[in-house]
Structure 1
């Protein structure tokens, strides 16, 4: 089985996956994530759609309906299957395209009801006509992946007409792009090619740099000099410092947390209502899982045990351990009445 998985993974990486696709998917995810998601510097609460897995997970790209893949999938643990096989959003997209249905996108809502939404291009009459077949296709794919917690909603894609920027808006965008170019070049000269650059409504330039950087004042001064030379005016420059070791750890854990969330959110048996994590602790990665069961419910122990066993099986697998290395972790499963079950790496 391991040989088959490895060969399939290599096939997909050679034929389908590359960085541009990853970046486009990430941008799409950012734009489509549920509007109620809240983000803070130390803690993030995630409402994952299957598309998130496309942005971060390892890929295996053999056809979903291939008998060979199906035989392998039957032997693969639940979360490992989600982690290593094609993202369900890709499978749905391919199935709809094969049937000739032009779709604009997909999204997942988790509150108050878990809904998997597909938007189809065409008239209202056309969408009404194809809705039963599209619903059937999506349902079959989700059930094949044990993602039975979703209601399926098929909507008509809203026609959008791109509004052209005014001359003033265009000039502002060009100026900002020039500023970003100057800032980017200065950062590159100091060895930072991939750090994010932002600008808020007050025209303050926002940078992220490691807390180990000792030349921050010099970098800010160089940026200001270059902006002045180009007659772009004076700008306040704010620098947010991050811990390089924690950032590296978070980067490695991202596909793991995404997989856990995608899997246990989508399956009814886990009764999960929320998944979050914090990377603030220096000692360990912390993950919290909220459920809809109370500690007094008759199925409480079964639900919690299911979650615990499924996650431990995934975290202790050879593939996952190669990514998270020797990182310590603490996972807290929280019942509706706040009772906690803790899993640790110790």
Structure 2
């Protein structure tokens, strides 16, 4: 038996993807091939198939000779290449959307007739779907006069990037152009944040988040500081004093400076954000029933929740299982790509009433 099984393994080892998923099922598939080979040889029916290689084909497409459970396991193998290709396409698409927004903003801002009178925003939930552009204008008369022209500019820009079915809406809003006071405040804030950035980087640290408030006058900085609590306090005091002194020396008012370090939970959240985005994007591209996403680190384990338009039923459960399995593979592919530490997580599929359809835990 062992000798025959070894021969089968050597003969068909390259028929399967060499990845984590296939490694877990190879031995079962080889044993099934050997079992079917012996059974068909005894019954003299192997001549109908020509060779055992055909059995591989039947296994991969869900032959009647293979149990439904085995067919389901084997079918999971093919998701790997699909997902990798889809992730690349999503990155390309996001790059196009960002470039398109930059071009539209620049085109509108450089038009002398529009300068100071329009502001543009772009939004989308799933990048695989057409983006929506909102253009805010200062008054109704301007909107009536230039609406078609502005829409035409945006649609032509989108067409140049091969992005179709773009939605464009013009809305009237007061104070499209920032006031002189707001401009000065923005310039002042940018200067303080630039000083803060330079001082912190000079000390060899990276700013993860920062902000300035006018009332109370305060500069808040979040820095990735590792080490013991004592080491953190020493670094915190040095940065706070140095930032304060530099801001004050540049003839700015006396600002309180507060440094905080990122917590373990915040680091974990930050590391998983690209994974969450990938799960949301890729499951929607593959399964249009997927129309919402959420996650929660508390209580443990991490919950990855996919909202769908599905209703309850036997076939619905099967589709929920497919969505869950696809989402799991996206998680693992993206997690390994980013070298994010593995943690226990649960994938939950909800129906259109937001009720739980299916869930699976991975430790």
TM-score (norm. length: structure 2): 0.51
CA drift of 1:115 comes to 6.5
Instruction: Establish whether residue 272 from structure 1 lines up as the match of residue 276 from structure 2.
Output: no
Task: Determine the structure 2 residue equivalent to 1:321.
Answer: 336
Q: Which residue of 2 aligns with 1:338?
A: 355
Q: Determine which of 211, 219, 223 is the counterpart of 1:209.
A: 223
For 1:57-76, what aligned pairs fall within 5 Å after superposition? none
1:96-175, aligned counterparts within 5 Å? Answer: 107-109=123-125, 116-117=130-131, 124=148, 152-155=165-168, 163=177, 165-166=179-180, 168-175=181-188
How many correspondences in the alignment?
244
Do 2:132 and 2:168's aligned partners in 1 also have CA atoms closer than 8 Å?
yes
Partner SS, residue 253 of structure 2: coil
CA distance in 2, matches of 1:120, 1:279: 34
Which aligned pairs between 1:194-233 and structure 2 lie closer than 5 A? 194-202=207-215, 203-210=217-224, 212=226, 213-215=232-234, 216-233=236-253
Match of residue 259, structure 1, among 254, 261, 278: 278
- Give distance in 2, aligned partners of 1:153 and 1:174: 34
CA distance in 1, matches of 2:97, 2:193: 38
2:88 aligned with 1:84: yes
Q: Does residue 1:188 correspond to 2:195, yes or no?
A: no
Q: Which has the larger radius of gyration?
A: 2
Contact 2:347 / 2:361 at 8 angstroms: preserved in 1? Answer: yes
Give the alignment of 1:42-61 within 5 angstroms. Answer: none
Q: List per-residue Cα deviations over 1:231-273 (Å, max 9, x = no partner).
A: 3222233444322x55554444333221211122345x45223
Contact residue 209 and residue 241 of structure 1 kept, 8 A? yes
Matched, 1:305 2:292: no
Shift of 1:310: 1.0
Shift of 1:89: 4.8
Cα separation, 1, equivalents of 2:134 and 2:239: 49
Bigger relative contact order, structure 1 or 2 (CA pairs below 8 A, ≥6 apart): 1
Change (3 A) 1:293 1:201: farther
User: Helix, strand or coil for the counterpart of 1:330?
Assistant: strand
CA distance in 2, matches of 1:211, 1:262: 32
SS in 2 for 1:208: strand
How many Å separate the matches in 2 of 1:92 and 1:179? Answer: 31
The 1:266–1:120 alpha-carbon spacing in structure 2 relative to 1, beyond 3 Å, is: same
Please state whether the residue corresponding to 2:168 is helix, strand or coil. strand
Deviation at 1:75, TM superposition (A): 8.6
| Structure ranking higher in helix proportion | 2
Contiguous gaps of at least 5 residues in structure 2:
1-77, 101-106, 109-119, 136-145, 227-231
Cα distance in 2 between the residues matched to 1:120 and 1:232: 37
1:327, distance to aligned residue in structure 2 (A): 0.9
Query: What SS does the aligned partner of 2:124 have?
Result: strand
Preserved contact between residue 82 and residue 259 of structure 1 (Cα < 8 Å): no
C-alpha deviation, 1:82, in angstroms: 2.2
State the alpha-carbon separation in 2 of the partners of residues 339 and 75 from structure 1.
Answer: 24
- Asked if the contact 2:279–2:331 (Cα under 8 Å) also holds between the matched residues in 1, the reply is no
Instruction: Give the gaps of 5 or more residues in structure 1.
Output: 1-73, 96-101, 140-151
1:119 is displaced (CA, Å) by 5.1
Matched-pair contact (CA < 8 Å) for 2:349–2:357: yes
- 1:233-248 equivalences under 5 Å are 233-243=253-263, 246=265, 248=267
Change (3 A) 1:106 1:225: closer
